Amino acid sequence: MTSRPVGSRLVPLLLFSAAFAAAGAPAAAQEFHWPERGKNLQVLPKDFPPERLHAVMSGFTRSLGVRCVYCHVGTEGRPLATFDFVSDQNPNKDRAREMYRMLGDINGHLKKIQPSADKRVNMWCQTCHRGRPRPTTLAEELDAARLGTPGGPGAAVARYRELKQKFDEKGGLDFSEPALNDYGYERLEAKDSDGAIAVFRLAVEEHPASGSAWDSLGEAYAAAGKRELSRVAYSKSLELDPGNENAAKRLRELDAPHP
């Protein structure tokens, strides 16, 4: 495990730096200088040097994909010298302090575990956040969109596309076929056939050559009583994967005389 201090790239950015504004610097000054001694530092060492403070705060911004105003009092686009870094008015600063303490607890606990390799793993803020302020799962993001707007299933699909465009290359969320499949079945188990259909249609759009994705879509259509659409989906699944016994069985059931 490296000896680099836990705080060198934690959660929210210019957080508990809290007020590292230089003593006596006029609020209207347009040029910002990192102070020799920070103010209102409650987690970082009181004598944290300016170059280390700069590195830590920059690490926060990268790890969470945020800017100074996420934790500090100031106006986006205004010079940093106009920010009140000492103030605790922004509640995200205290959240960040607690996240920092939590990270220290986790890394302390990791030291008690026999490592599985030569070097121990270590937790950093980017371990969970990966460029996002809230380290939620894909399913949580889609559920929030589905429940938080009148768009329902359509809003969840739109949110997926928005997130994928923004985070696909950053590894911030799991956009794999299994992740969509799992969420689709969550909707099926909740008796939300419309939601499941929307998710599985998205899955076949994202993975058109997957027999499994088409099989899942067939199941969602069947649950909604849409027999013909179910037959089309299962047929496509079997075409892509001739060894898919489930799709073959379902097609036989659909082709059987309907009472």
Higher pLDDT, 42 or 220: 220
Of 114 and 259, the one with more pLDDT? 114
Domain at 143, CATH number: 1.25.40.10
Least confident of 24-28, 110-114, 239-243: 24-28
- Residue 133 forms part of a structural domain: no
Q: Flag whether 1 is in a domain.
A: no
**Mean local confidence (pLDDT), 99-124:** 90
Q: 249: left (phi > 0), else alpha (psi -120 to 50), else beta?
A: alpha
Residues 166, 108 share a domain: no
Span 211-233, mean pLDDT?
Answer: 96
Does one domain contain both 13 and 102?
A: yes
Domain boundary among 64, 93, 128: 128
Residues 123 and 13 in one domain: yes
Residues 218 and 154 in one domain: yes
Q: What is the pLDDT of residues 47-96, one digit of tens each?
A: 888 888 878 888 888 888 888 888 999 899 888 889 988 898 999 989 98
What is the percentage of the chain residues whose pLDDT exceeds 90?
Answer: 47
